[in-house]
Structure 1
């Protein structure tokens, strides 16, 4: 095995109750079909891709589908299902809990329940919650609750509040854009500065944030908010963690590694929404990348995640 067994922080589960609810409402994931999933198929994939543990999350559109009472019930059902999967397969799975934003009171209550009682490894937030971005001032009580618990937050992209590019499902293009948009919103609204104990993991290498970070910093400090220096903006942008799902490529990986703070790049697969063949395609680039510093490949594949999820350390 060329690398230590990986910890995959971007792996999805498809709880039956969630899949049935989406089907009943005629929904999918931004024009992307909902695939079949089972713990057994996940373990089989992980064994083939040298993944020891997958930290599972529900993908877009999340659990708030328009009705607040339904969202609360669906979040609880999904989180209890994920907790059972973790309990039934020790060591192979972790779990990010789903919470029903934009209902902020219910979201905070579900986060507390999931973290304190279901022992979730963190929470997953969609990049926007029914068109509202995560720096929304109404969401402050949730961030305060997560900060008190030094929570891991996995930020997964969702379809932005605009029409799809004709013939193009959201995961192909819009998800990259919305991840970037959401991360910048968190920095410009001061969330990353006010809540230093929260660890936010951005999907897919942070969209194009590493590539454009100095653009964001320079323009903000000179044309948008002169009270904040470029260094202030960069400091908050560099607080993010990043996963490699669909991003470990010859063009994206150098930018990601050049921008991210040491220890802030984590392995991700995006399975099963990204098929097995996609995992192999990006793993090849990761495994043959010629410019890793000593120990950096092992850190990306496993060691950095062990620091965020101590219970997964072997």
Structure 2
């Protein structure tokens, strides 16, 4: 049985070179992106435990933060082509990739979905972030992307970024808060009711939602509580089988997928082995573990 990691990261080297040409000091702003496993595919592949596959998505080096709308669209298009080529060249390890979108050019983003995802055997969805250009991902300007992806049945990978309006951001807690707020925004906007085929995979096991699920139940409406359960979540919390059990209790057996955030979290090669151990230590059945490791992914993309 292959173990399919649905949330693993790369930094396509040709895309990176283009971004460095635009801003030579760009990696100094994001020193964690200097990890060679992001760009060197030979090292990346060797770092993986046997029997593991990865659905690859780009790190959060988002063109719209640096260039105008047309250039952002061109950069996303070429980056997506590069990710698709990574999948084609390493199909046994990378069963699929996730596309980037230019969030300062929504018409172009919708065209990229039609041109690069619809009918593709390499790019199966898109990665969105909790904010784009200082606005929450549920801003009305971005809703057409949710509608389009629901219409074609392609998942959204929801990844956190810092809210730059805050002065106390930290990597331990802030991203989990931003994920939780974005989930709350998606529920409040009634996207799961407006777009019943919408699929959203949330990083970091659904952040704060499993722990505070009873607050959701008693403070918000029954409809909202049900909508929170519509999210899919990964296992990327660096271990902690009891917390993973809590996530599975809330989101359900069929909505938890193996994901690691590799190669980040635990140097030098990432947390894949630790998270695999945590899933195996969960007090669940062998069948449920198979669901997490592979079956839920297969069902989600069937």
User: Does the CA-based 8 Å contact 2:64-2:102 persist in structure 1?
Assistant: yes
User: Does the CA-based 8 Å contact 2:264-2:270 persist in structure 1?
Assistant: no
Alignment of structure 1 residues 70-149 onto 2, 5 Å: 70-93=71-94, 94-116=96-118, 118-119=120-121, 120-149=123-152
For residues 28 and 137 of structure 2, what CA distance do their matches in structure 1 show? 19
Aligned residue-pair number:
292
SS at match of 2:8: strand
Aligned-residue RMSD, C-alpha: 2.2
Post-superposition CA distance 1:6-47 (Å, at most 9, x none):
01100111111332345453345985521213322232223x
Post-superposition CA distance 1:67-116 (Å, at most 9, x none):
22221111001100011111112232110101111432222111222212
User: Is the aligned partner of 1:12 residue 2:1?
Assistant: no
Question: Which residue is 1:307 aligned to?
Answer: 299
Question: Which residue is 2:206 aligned to?
Answer: 206
Structure-1-length-normalised TM-score: 0.85
Say if 1:154 and 1:210 are closer, same or farther in 2 by CA, change over 3 A.
Answer: same
Q: Bigger shift: 266-275 or 36-45? A: 36-45
Say if 1:251 and 1:62 are closer, same or farther in 2 by CA, change over 3 A.
Answer: farther
SS at match of 1:263: helix
User: Is the aligned partner of 1:235 residue 2:226?
Assistant: yes
Alignment of structure 1 residues 22-33 onto 2, 5 Å: 22-23=19-20, 24-25=22-23, 26-28=25-27, 31-33=30-32
User: Does the CA-based 8 Å contact 1:127-1:155 persist in structure 2?
Assistant: yes
For residues 27 and 264 of structure 2, what CA distance do their matches in structure 1 show? 11
User: Does the CA-based 8 Å contact 2:261-2:271 persist in structure 1?
Assistant: no
Alignment of structure 1 residues 184-203 onto 2, 5 Å: 184-203=184-203
For residues 50 and 73 of structure 1, what CA distance do their matches in structure 2 show? 35
For residues 277 and 101 of structure 1, what CA distance do their matches in structure 2 show? 29
Gaps of 5+ in 1: 221-229
User: Does the CA-based 8 Å contact 1:102-1:132 persist in structure 2?
Assistant: no
Post-superposition CA distance 1:228-276 (Å, at most 9, x none):
xx32011111110000012541342121011012310000111123342
Say if 1:30 and 1:185 are closer, same or farther in 2 by CA, change over 3 A.
Answer: farther
Question: Which residue is 2:248 aligned to?
Answer: 257
Structure-2-length-normalised TM-score: 0.88
**TM superposition shift of 1:151:** 1.0
Say if 1:215 and 1:298 are closer, same or farther in 2 by CA, change over 3 A.
Answer: same
**TM superposition shift of 1:127:** 1.4
User: Is the aligned partner of 1:297 residue 2:289?
Assistant: yes
